[in-house]
Amino acid sequence: MQPNTLLDAILDEAGISHAGLAAHVNQAGRARGLTLRYEHTAVARWLKGQRPRGQVPDVICEVLAARLHRPVTLDDIGLGVPGEPASLHGSSLSGFVERATALWRSDEQQRPHVLGAPAVTGTPAVMPVWEWENPPEDVDVSRGGRHRVTPADIEMLRAARAHYEQMYRKAGGIATRSRIVGFLNSETAPLLRGCYTDALGRQLHRATGGLVAVVGICAYDSDAHGLAQRYFHQALRLAKASGDRGLGAYVIALLVNQSLFMKEYRQAVAFAEAALRTAGRHTTPALASDLYAMQAKAYAHLGDATSALSCIRQAETAAERIRRGHEPDETGYVQPGLVNVQVAEALLSLGDLVAAGEHAAAAVDTPAHDRGRVHRLAILSQIELRQGNADKAAATAVEMTERARGVESMRLRDRLRAVREHLVRSGCAGTAEAAELIDGALRVPL
């Protein structure tokens, strides 16, 4: 029996206590000729996942609709047809908002069934991307809530996205996620439920989509892959509501990156193709270069050298067209040198150590924030070891470890472990000290 997080969230929105809901349900039931004697303990059982009998679910909808001054469906309160969860995209936009905000609330409450959920695969993983690509579009995203949303609110969300992205880069996803989830619950959820025109609503959904994508990145960085995937799917639905195809393509790039991590290489190729095909001219050079580079890595892992090399050429061509100041905020992560290190990884998988080393060295020689530099140094160290340059590899690993200190990130710890494993496996005397330094960094608890 799963907790009913939707009912929990909508009770919070309505500002009604467990005892208050029970009393209102009893009263509304009498108007229907029902004799109901519910108390707060019954509501607590509903929140734990028990389904009320008979007409009671409809009565709950009636009570909450009167309280919120808007229609409330059985799906909205988590009491729809059992076994048929509503799609993020297939349901109404207002229904999606309720489900999205319920997830934020459950995440902030650290509900185990949310935090520990595994990532979905197969059709459930593909459907959100397919629904983003295909009709129907949202004809009108306006809403008539109590709080009137203003352009200043949109700017606040954009500023928050930039702030939390920088925090993620400096402190890591583990430290950042709780802060941004708290912001979503306290500031963003009331705006989504507020009053706005279609035009302002599209801006609101776009700004929220960018913010939610950063939460997904933080969850991915924390090893909460099921949760990260749900946030990415939310961001994709928000992108569709905003009408911004470029934002949707950016979110799919995040799904491609996660697919690579989970070794779902064919899915990574398909998702990247979907982003490039659907966004078309809205795919900026920076985003296109990253999508092609990630495709190259996926093809390399699949052993398709021809396709990998073709994607590398397209990534490099797109990278040459990047114009700083003409890219959206979200693609700011595509810093100079990023495509080089992605290409280096693909070439390493293909066994071309010379070309991989050249690209990795070029990436390291290009300025980057500490988080990105750790990744670049990790790849360079592995290539140097494969080339037989143990002393250089050890020195690179030492710099990598120093750069990683203080960042609470499971992905960076993965990179440290991978480099340490390569150093130990090499059996060279000069690598032992670097391996011990990594061991010390890994012993620091997160």
Across the range 72-96, mean pLDDT stands at: 71
- CA distance linking residue 180 with residue 335, whole number of Å: 24
Structure tokens at 106: 């459950």
3-state secondary structure 116-146: CCCCCCCHHHHHHHHHHHCCCCCCCCCEECC
Cα–Cα distance for residue pair 194/213, rounded to 1 Å = 21
DSSP result, 198-211: HHHHHHHHHHHHHH
Give the pLDDT confidence of 270-322 residue by residue, as tens digits.
999 999 999 999 999 999 999 999 999 999 999 999 999 999 999 999 999 99
14 pLDDT more than 90: no
What percent of the chain stands above pLDDT 70?
A: 97
Nearest-5° Cα angle at 422, 420 to 424: 70
Mean pLDDT of the chain: 93
The answer on pLDDT for 215 being more than 50 is yes
Nearest alpha-carbon partner for 144 in 103, 94, 178: 94
Q: Which residues contact 92 (CB under 8 A, 6 or more apart)?
A: none
> Which token pair is 304?
């398709």
In this prediction, residue 91 carries a pLDDT of 60
The pTM score is 0.86
Average the pLDDT over 354-373 and give the result. 95
The whole-number average pLDDT for the span 250-277 is 97
Give percent of the chain above pLDDT 90.
79
> Mean pLDDT across the stretch 341-350?
97
Distance CA 257, CA 291 (A): 9
pLDDT at 87 over 60: no
Q: Given a cut of 60, is residue 244 above it in pLDDT?
A: yes
* Residue 252 amino acid letter: I
When comparing pLDDT for 74 and 295, which is higher? 295
**What are the start-end ranges of the E strands in 23-177?**
143-144
For the record, the structure tokens of 342 come out as: 């992605």
What confidence tens digit (pLDDT) does each residue in 124-142 have?
999 999 999 999 999 999 9
